[in-house]
A = this chain, B = another copy of it.
Amino acid sequence: MSTSQTNTPIFIGVDLGGTRSKAALVGAAGELIHEAIIEAEEPGSELMRANMIETLRALIADERAANRVSAIGIGVPGLVNRKTNRIELLPNQPELSQVDFATEVEKETGLPVILDNDANAAAYGELQAGAARGHKDVFFVYLGPGIGAGLIINGQIYRGAEGFAGEFGHMTIDPEGIECACGNIGCLETIASGPNIVRRTRERLYRDRTSSLSRLALPRDREFTAEDIARAAREGDEMAQVMMERTGMFLGIALAAVINLLNVEMVVMGGGVMEAGDLILKPTIKETRRRAFPPSFGSCEVVIAELGHSAGLVGAALLARDHIAK
């Protein structure tokens, strides 16, 4: 190992999930060194937090880290108040907004800890080490269990007045649509999040049960996920392709609004649904082009994320890197 490597700091990125979180050692240039999984039966519980601390300590002590871990960044699937470095709203793990989670982790690990929204972290990962390298004004969309977004303005994460910016999934697409967990109705998330793509596909499979549109790649009698639908689309299942196309259309309505409003240079789309590749990207771009101002659309590239599942880990680690460099 060369001297420069020995002196280069390493960071830990954490992607806080529900029953499954991830933590990783990440190099200063965004390279993933080693990844660990943290399982939790009760998300947010003391036991989960103890498991996480244990995993973090193991990573810090790991020989691949070689005593070089300098800071920890944690991406959280909810609202983070950056002024207080506390979780403001985490619907599925309310316990974590009642404690000072960052300080708890700092005490137990002896390292500086920063929290950020997980979509912000993933956006930062794509900016620093993924599809958006070298860009300044970027909108990152994450299509997963929910829909998250991170907004990069002038090369920095834009967080807004209190740190809550980026709630793209709750843009109203259908004013008379169905109820969303957030209290609004007709949110983009009620149509295009993973579970809602599954719901819409199930409804359609039920309605069209006499049709031959789905060549059984999507079983009526078993559970499937949005990723399964994306895969089935890629494998030629027509029903799955129609669902990806319709989903892309709704995404395009929302993205056109963002492109008109923000005139970003690039939209990066990540998350499991994007495994469908062009089958969802193309209809998304088609609808975006139809609805956005031509000059604004013309100055914006819409691409698929590069870092996949590790965008959040890498981004959280690099946010920690840049936080301690200040």
B-binding residues in A (CB < 8 A): 79, 88-89, 136-137, 149, 151, 153, 158-168, 170-175, 182-185, 253, 256-258, 260-265, 290-296, 299-300
Contacts and interface: CB of A to CB of B under 8 A. Distances in A.
Given A184-B290, A299-B164, A172 B261 contact: no
A260 B148 CA distance: 11
A151 B153 CA distance: 12
Q: Copy number in this complex? A: 2
A185 B88 CA distance: 37
B158 A153 contact: yes
Contacts of A258: 261
A263 B293 contact: no
7 contacts: A88-B295, A153-B153, A170-B293, A172-B256, A184-B291, A257-B257, A258-B261
Say what secondary structure dominates the interface of chain A.
loop
Contacts of A262: 151, 158, 160, 165
A165 B262 CA distance: 5
Given A167-B293, A175-B253, A291-B172, A265 B161 contact: yes
